[in-house]
Chains A and B, each alone.
Chain A
Amino acid sequence: MAGPSTTTPPAGGVLESLSNDLAGAVDRAGQSVVAIHARRRIPASGVHWRPGIIVAAHHTIQREDDITISLADGSTIAATLAGRDPTTDLAVLKVDEAKVPVASLADASAIRVGTLVLALGRPGTAVTASLGVISTVGGEWRTWHGGTIDRFVRLDLSIYDGFSGGPLVDAGGRVLGVNTSGLSRGAALAIPASTVNRVVDQLVQTGRVARGYLGLGMQAVRLPAALVGKLSLPNDIGLMVVSTEPNGPGDSAGILIGDVLIAVADKPVGDPADVLGLLGGDQIGKTLSTRIIRAGEPKNVSITIGERPRDPRDARGSRRGR
């Protein structure tokens, strides 16, 4: 047993109060963290966001039937998938009755570089935690699948297996966002609560997040100097159409493989992301004016923006990320 000690550590220090604060934050915020059983291997995490509404990471939902969630009170209940948005890696589940509190959200201004944060998860029965800081905060950004996230929030902490879909909380236990490793090849990112609210609204109302769509595959190409000079182009990069979706909006408007887009809505384009940025859900049905080069000659083509069809592969989630 413990022998005589030469020192008695003092009580009531800053470290001890920090320890109490963090354990308290885990305890409070952990009440709204759930385990989601929708894949093989270990469960993923989710947040009881609004009464009966559970937020999860899209990539962890690998089956759409027979989904159950485990709550902080130890009960396990059935859940149905209300919808998923692969572009922001978010999914929404509905449950009949969850006798656990909903997450208490922090003010958006709390997301600052250096803020001490906890990532919480419930990849099993107990809530688990990791500690770190917010390392980067940037402006609005677009994910590689075309989703818009209000702010770029990068974390200096570990996202352990089963942590995606769990909340990022401050030292007071208030939720700043939802963590995922599915948007960035494994790096820890948080989706801010404002984006989660927006996506939840759309998924609850319509079951999907509508995206505009042209049905064109494009790749940046460098244009010959002679052509740039002849047409007085502002830059020497264009987007060559490398694929067209049959009967898609671009195909219907007469766009052909080999056409090079140089401007969309009167703005020069040099990256497919420039075009994606003009295809928000509110643009569906509107007309997009494009300027293309075909066989060395400029030409104007108007395309009616369609709605992106659902990719059947989305229903399988993804094994990328934790």
Chain B
Amino acid sequence: MMDASIAPLGAELEALASTLRRSVVEVRTRGAGAGSGIIWSANGLIVTNAHVARTDHATIVLWDGRELDGIVTAHDPRRDLATIAVDPASVTLAAATIGHATDLRTGDVVVALGHPWGITGAIALGIVHAVEARRGAPRWIRADIRLAPGNSGGPLADARGRVVGVNTLIAGGLGVAVPTTTVSRFLDQVEARRARSRSRAA
């Protein structure tokens, strides 16, 4: 039952948004408009949708307006995921806290942060509508939340602001996100491929 007063809800949401916003970037590419991205690690790794990062280069705009050059380092259209590298030397990057997509339950509160219709750092509140699983692993997170173009590549976070998914598309009025478990698998494969090519080069 709801015993706690909801009075601090707004303040908590505001704090969550202002923290999460520092880990969300705008991804601009020539010709493809703008989407969002998530600072995955402070060493310059940004995760976004493949459909947001269709070119080799992207301009990354941080929450405070600073612009960085980004190089698209991996691109997986099947999972609709991509990585972009930026030079971490010039700025201090605030990595997002990554949560556990496998723990999500239908009804859980989720927050999306992104740049819908080009509006910078907009927040949306909703709940998990369904977690679509395949062989026990979450495949898609469907959320009862209002998203718009520009949210693509941005985070879907849990009630504590931990990223659980990458907002990817809108289907039947629902926000659809790629779970972070899928992102981790994607990043592991990218890393393994890179290690192989390094050893070949050596």
Interface residues of A in 133-177 (CB under 8 A from B): 157-158, 160-161, 171-172
B109 touches A22 (CB 8 A): yes
Q: Is A13 an interface residue (CB 8 A)?
A: yes
Known: A15-B16, A19-B158, A23-B108. A131 touches B40 (CB 8 A): no
Interface residues of A in 19-67 (CB under 8 A from B): 19, 21-27, 30
In angstroms, Cα B143 to Cα A152, docked, is 28
Interface residues of A in 241-284 (CB under 8 A from B): none
Count of residues in B whose CB is under 8 Å from the partner chain: 45
Q: Is A129 an interface residue (CB 8 A)?
A: yes
B19 touches A22 (CB 8 A): no
B107 touches A25 (CB 8 A): yes
How many chain A residues sit at the interface, stated as a range, is 35 or more
Residues of A within 8 A of B6 (CB): 14, 18
**B95's closest neighbor in chain A, by CB?**
A3
Known: A4-B95, A7-B97, A26-B105. A161 touches B159 (CB 8 A): no
Q: Is B22 an interface residue (CB 8 A)?
A: yes
Binds A, one of B26-34, B48-56, B60-68, B123-131: B123-131
- Shortest C-beta distance, B137 to chain A (Å), equals 15
Binds A, one of B7-15, B79-87, B147-155, B193-201: B7-15
Known: A3-B41, A128-B130. A11 touches B160 (CB 8 A): yes
Known: A3-B95, A126-B130, A128-B142. A23 touches B40 (CB 8 A): no
In angstroms, Cα B40 to Cα A24, docked, is 31
Q: Is A232 an interface residue (CB 8 A)?
A: no
- Shortest C-beta distance, A13 to chain B (Å), equals 5
B95 touches A1 (CB 8 A): no
Known: A4-B41, A15-B13. A172 touches B2 (CB 8 A): yes
Q: Is A118 an interface residue (CB 8 A)?
A: yes
Q: Is A130 an interface residue (CB 8 A)?
A: yes
In angstroms, Cα B161 to Cα A8, docked, is 9
A1 touches B184 (CB 8 A): yes
In angstroms, Cα B41 to Cα A262, docked, is 78
In angstroms, Cα B63 to Cα A183, docked, is 46
In angstroms, Cα B41 to Cα A171, docked, is 37
What is the number of contacts between chain A and chain B, taking CB atoms within 8 Å?
Answer: 126
- Shortest C-beta distance, B152 to chain A (Å), equals 20
A15 touches B94 (CB 8 A): no
In angstroms, Cα B22 to Cα A127, docked, is 35
**B133's closest neighbor in chain A, by CB?**
A126
Residues of B within 8 A of A158 (CB): 144, 173
B106 touches A126 (CB 8 A): yes
Q: Is A309 an interface residue (CB 8 A)?
A: no
Known: A6-B95, A14-B9, A21-B1. A131 touches B127 (CB 8 A): yes
Q: Is B71 an interface residue (CB 8 A)?
A: no
**A126's closest neighbor in chain B, by CB?**
B130
Of the candidates A3, A5, A130, the one whose C-beta lies within 8 Å of that of B43 is A3
- Shortest C-beta distance, A194 to chain B (Å), equals 23
Residues of B within 8 A of A2 (CB): 40-41, 95, 97-98
Residues of B within 8 A of A74 (CB): none
Q: Is A16 an interface residue (CB 8 A)?
A: yes
Known: A23-B105, A26-B105. A8 touches B129 (CB 8 A): no
Q: Is B75 an interface residue (CB 8 A)?
A: no
Q: Is B25 an interface residue (CB 8 A)?
A: no
Residues of A within 8 A of B170 (CB): none
In angstroms, Cα B162 to Cα A236, docked, is 66
Known: A3-B42, A4-B42, A129-B129. A19 touches B97 (CB 8 A): no
Q: Is B4 an interface residue (CB 8 A)?
A: yes
Residues of A within 8 A of B162 (CB): 9
Q: Most A CB atoms within 10 A — which of B12, B106, B187, B188?
A: B106
Residues of B within 8 A of A287 (CB): none
Q: Is B136 an interface residue (CB 8 A)?
A: no
Of the candidates A19, A127, A130, A172, the one whose C-beta lies within 8 Å of that of B159 is A19
- Shortest C-beta distance, B101 to chain A (Å), equals 12
Of the candidates A1, A6, A30, the one whose C-beta lies within 8 Å of that of B22 is A6
- 10 additional contacts (CB under 8 A) given A18-B4, A22-B108: A3-B42, A6-B42, A14-B5, A18-B2, A19-B107, A21-B2, A23-B106, A27-B105, A128-B142, A130-B127
B residues apposed to A, CB below 8 Å? 1-2, 4-6, 8-9, 12-13, 16, 19, 22, 40-43, 45, 94-98, 105-109, 126-130, 142, 144, 158-162, 172-174, 184, 187-188
